[in-house]
């Protein structure tokens, strides 16, 4: 049995992870970590990562917390040799590399900008299309309580598009066309790709990648309407990290092996 600690266990995603791990027959919830405890849980809940690591008793920590706390959590868990499955976005590639270097040999830091198989395939399709279109834009739409913008998925998608076309920036007009007083209308430029963020009630997580060339457009869209859509990817990450080490970014690394 894989013993799992869930950081942010009372949040929306954390609660879904608790249910998914509890329902799996090859893993169990060893403890939860949340600064806002609730009564009536069937597992021990610690108020901080430091307390949980000191108590021990788990193999993997799954983190769905907030950008403001994830770095501190990883600085505590990784040096202790605990494999980490991270869905909290907001960390740069440079920071992830720095944090992964804190871990002893045999420890894995797995970071997924998105845990849904559909979103991973969307990025794979975007990678395949990118070399053939001179223009590309990413539009991501999330619920109004999301703490970061752009989303980690949008950032990752823009990087993948840029890499696939050799770092070439979009040929569409950019910030130079924005009217005075409304700067930002053309979105944020991520690796040369404009990225736009929508925050509104009615969404969980959606993203469109719009490619354009002479006389045609190609739109690739993924919608997640329920947080249950993330759980197969989370469980795959939990099952996979024990046999890996170092920094691994993207669920596709494990999907290709499944």
Q: pTM of the entire structure?
A: 0.83
- Token pair recorded at residue 253: 């690394």
pLDDT band at 175 (very low <50, low <70, confident <90, very high): confident
Active-site residue identified among 3, 95, 146, 196: 146
Active site residue 3: no
Q: Which token pair is 56?
A: 């021990």
Give the phi and the psi of residue 78 in degrees, each rounded to 5: -65, -45
DSSP state of 189: E
Considering the candidates 3, 95, 127, 142, report the single residue annotated as catalytic. Answer: 142
Is 38 among the residues known to form the active site? no
258 falls in which pLDDT band (50, 70, 90)?
Answer: low
Q: Which two tokens stand for residue 120?
A: 């991973």
- How far, in Å, CA of 90 to CA of 111, rounded? 11
> Would you state the pLDDT for residue 46?
96
Q: What is the pLDDT of residues 130-154, one digit of tens each?
A: 999 999 999 999 999 888 899 989 9
CA separation (Å) from 24 to 11, 82, 212? 20, 20, 43
């Amino acid at each position: 049995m894989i013993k799992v600690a869930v950081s942010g266990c009372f949040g929306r995603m954390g609660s879904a992870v608790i249910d998914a791990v509890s329902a799996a027959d090859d893993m169990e919830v060893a403890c939860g970590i949340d600064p806002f405890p609730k009564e009536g849980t069937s597992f021990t809940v610690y108020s901080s990562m430091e307390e949980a690591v000191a108590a021990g008793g788990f193999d993997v920590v799954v983190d769905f917390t907030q950008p403001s706390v994830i770095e501190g959590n990883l600085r505590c868990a990784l040096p202790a040799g605990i494999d980490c499955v991270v869905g909290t976005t907001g960390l740069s590639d440079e920071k992830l590399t720095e944090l992964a270097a804190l871990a002893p040999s045999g420890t894995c830091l797995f970071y997924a900008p998105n845990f849904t198989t559909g979103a991973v395939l969307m990025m794979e399709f975007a990678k395949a299309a990118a070399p053939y279109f001179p223009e590309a834009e990413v539009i991501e739409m999330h619920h109004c309580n999301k703490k970061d913008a752009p989303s980690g998925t949008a950032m990752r998608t823009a990087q993948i598009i840029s890499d696939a076309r050799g770092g070439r920036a979009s040929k569409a007009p950019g910030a130079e066309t924005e009217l005075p007083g409304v700067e930002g209308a053309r979105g944020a430029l991520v690796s040369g790709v404009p990225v736009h963020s929508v925050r509104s009630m009615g969404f969980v997580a959606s993203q469109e990648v719009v490619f354009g060339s002479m006389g045609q457009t190609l739109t690739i869209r993924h919608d997640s309407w329920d947080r249950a859509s993330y759980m197969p990817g989370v469980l795959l990450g939990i099952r996979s990290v024990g046999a890996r080490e170092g920094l691994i970014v993207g669920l596709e690394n494990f999907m290709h092996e499944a």
